[in-house]
């Protein structure tokens, strides 16, 4: 069914663009063949890893397929917008588009899709920029003012994100000299056997109180138990509905973590539970921070009494216009938001998933700094 739908969408693009581009018979044949190739490549590339692991041929196929997927997405969206614009012109001006308008608009669609894909590729493959965020915490002890957490999320180490990409992230995070590092899930897309060497540079992450990790949904797709053992071996503290108490400058704060919001679908024992993550925590801590992969953990986190939740999952939509659709699945898309007395910071992610494309939703490494609320400092 999905293959058929994908084919129909490619047919739609071809019918609406190829005649208007005035390419001649040969050009239309070539254009049609490219669309057919895209239709075949996308599903082939997405399944190549399961059929041909650790193969250079499989890697090349995945790269080609995922770039084609990103280009197809923009072609479809811009073709649809073109048709809507032409329809509005007909309805409100009562004038059919001339051949010149048809041709010009078709070329604009193709050029815009290619440009968006190129810019998106460059943005996706660079090391994520650092975003600085101050979070005011009520009744924050002076000793905790300025406590910093470097957050990385949704790296998706896999077919197109490898060791050198991870090494760039590690170097950028270590330059922040943070008090703690939080990895909020979706670190990997593949097995420990396949990706261990590419994740290994994360062992070089350095922070005063260490690195903390919580699972995302993709860890469950990739073998959660094997990965939590591997990440523990690399020196990370994996938080599975539990917390640690950090003593900092004669003050204390809680860093807690929950399993992914959907974990119970894979293992009922791993049901995400913010209240359990905070159980038996000292009552006198100056701040309570929760690491939760999905923003929709926020209502339970607020009810449990956390001050701040750090999340990811959304990628900020990753590339336009999908950023406008995240809100239908998650309460928050990106940035700092408030739910009752809980602050929620949603990272746009440090890597990418699927197409190597970031357009209108830049990747980020986030430096979170706790500060006293205005009037308290």
Counts of helices then strands in the chain (DSSP H, E): 10, 12
pLDDT over 80 (residue 188): yes
What per-residue confidence (pLDDT) applies to 57?
A: 55
What per-residue confidence (pLDDT) applies to 330?
A: 94
pTM for this entry: 0.92
What per-residue confidence (pLDDT) applies to 366?
A: 98
CA nearest neighbour of 187 among 155, 158, 227, 234: 155
pLDDT tens-digit readout, 274-284: 999 999 999 89
What per-residue confidence (pLDDT) applies to 3?
A: 87
Q: Which residue has the tokens 């996308």?
A: 42
What per-residue confidence (pLDDT) applies to 377?
A: 43
pLDDT tens-digit readout, 10-24: 999 999 999 999 888
| 248 — pLDDT class (breaks 50, 70, 90) | very high
Q: Which residue has the tokens 């660079």?
A: 126
Distance from C-alpha of 368 to C-alpha of 346, rounded to nearest angstrom: 11
| 94 — pLDDT class (breaks 50, 70, 90) | low
What per-residue confidence (pLDDT) applies to 55?
A: 55
Which sequence spans correspond to the domains of the chain?
Answer: 2-125, 130-372
User: What b-and-e string marks burial along 46-61, b requiring 16 or more CB atoms within 10 Å of the CB?
Assistant: bebbeeeeeeeebbeb
Question: 219 to each of 46, 63, 157, 182, 230, how far by Cα in Å?
Answer: 17, 22, 11, 16, 12
| 229 — pLDDT class (breaks 50, 70, 90) | very high
What per-residue confidence (pLDDT) applies to 190?
A: 92
Question: 348 to each of 7, 129, 288, 323, 326, how far by Cα in Å?
Answer: 31, 11, 22, 10, 11
Distance from C-alpha of 97 to C-alpha of 94, rounded to nearest angstrom: 10
pLDDT over 50 (residue 249): yes
Return the top range by mean pLDDT from 25-29, 91-95, 157-161, 232-236.
232-236
Q: Mean pLDDT throughout 133-137?
A: 97
Say if CB 20 and CB 102 are below 8 A apart.
yes
pLDDT tens-digit readout, 47-76: 655 544 555 556 788 899 999 999 999 999
What per-residue confidence (pLDDT) applies to 375?
A: 57
Q: What is the 3-state secondary structure (H, E, C) of 38-78?
A: HHHHHHHHHHHHHHCCCCHHHHHHHHHHHHHHHHHHHHHHH
Structure-model confidence comparison of residues 182 and 47, the more confident one: 182
What per-residue confidence (pLDDT) applies to 58?
A: 63
What per-residue confidence (pLDDT) applies to 56?
A: 56
What per-residue confidence (pLDDT) applies to 342?
A: 97
Q: Mean pLDDT throughout 182-192?
A: 96
Structure-model confidence comparison of residues 104 and 97, the more confident one: 104
Q: What average pLDDT is seen over the chain?
A: 93
Say if CB 120 and CB 358 are below 8 A apart.
yes
CATH architecture of the domain with residue range 130-372: 4-Layer Sandwich (3.60)
């Amino acid at each position: 069914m999905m293959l058929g739908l994908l084919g129909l969408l490619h047919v739609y693009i071809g019918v609406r663009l190829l005649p208007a581009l005035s390419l001649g018979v040969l050009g239309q044949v070539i254009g049609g063949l490219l669309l057919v190739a895209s239709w075949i490549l996308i599903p082939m590339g997405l399944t190549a890893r399961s059929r041909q692991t650790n193969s250079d041929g499989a890697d090349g196929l995945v790269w080609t397929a995922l770039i084609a997927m990103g280009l197809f997405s923009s072609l479809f969206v811009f073709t649809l917008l073109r048709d809507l614009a032409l329809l509005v012109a007909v309805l409100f001006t009562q004038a059919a588009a001339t051949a010149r308008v048809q041709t010009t608009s078709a070329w604009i669609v193709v050029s815009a899709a290619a440009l968006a894909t190129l810019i998106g590729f460059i943005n996706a493959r660079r090391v994520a920029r650092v975003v600085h965020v101050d979070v005011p915490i009520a009744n924050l002890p002076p000793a905790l003012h300025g406590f910093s957490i470097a957050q990385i999320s949704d790296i998706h180490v896999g077919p197109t994100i490898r060791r050198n990409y991870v090494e760039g992230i590690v170097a950028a995070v270590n330059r922040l000299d943070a008090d703690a590092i939080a990895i909020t899930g979706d670190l990997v897309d593949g097995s420990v056997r396949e990706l261990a060497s590419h994740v290994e540079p994360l062992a070089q992450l350095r922070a005063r109180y260490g690195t903390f990790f919580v699972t995302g949904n993709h860890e469950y797709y990739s073998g959660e138990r094997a990965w939590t053992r591997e990440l523990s071996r690399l020196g990370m503290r994996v938080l599975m509905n539990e917390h640690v108490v950090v003593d900092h400058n004669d003050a204390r704060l809680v860093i807690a973590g929950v399993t992914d919001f959907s974990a119970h679908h894979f293992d009922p024992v791993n049901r995400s539970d913010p209240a359990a993550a905070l159980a038996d925590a000292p009552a006198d801590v100056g701040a309570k921070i929760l690491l939760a992969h999905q923003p929709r953990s926020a209502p339970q986190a607020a009810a449990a009494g956390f001050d701040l939740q750090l999340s990811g999952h959304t990628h900020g939509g990753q590339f336009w216009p999908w950023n406008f659709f995240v809100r239908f699945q998650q309460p928050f898309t990106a940035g700092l938001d408030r739910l009752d007395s809980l602050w929620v910071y949603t990272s746009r992610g440090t890597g990418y998933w699927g197409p190597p494309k970031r357009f209108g939703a830049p990747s980020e490494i986030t430096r979170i700094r706790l500060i006293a609320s205005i009037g308290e400092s």
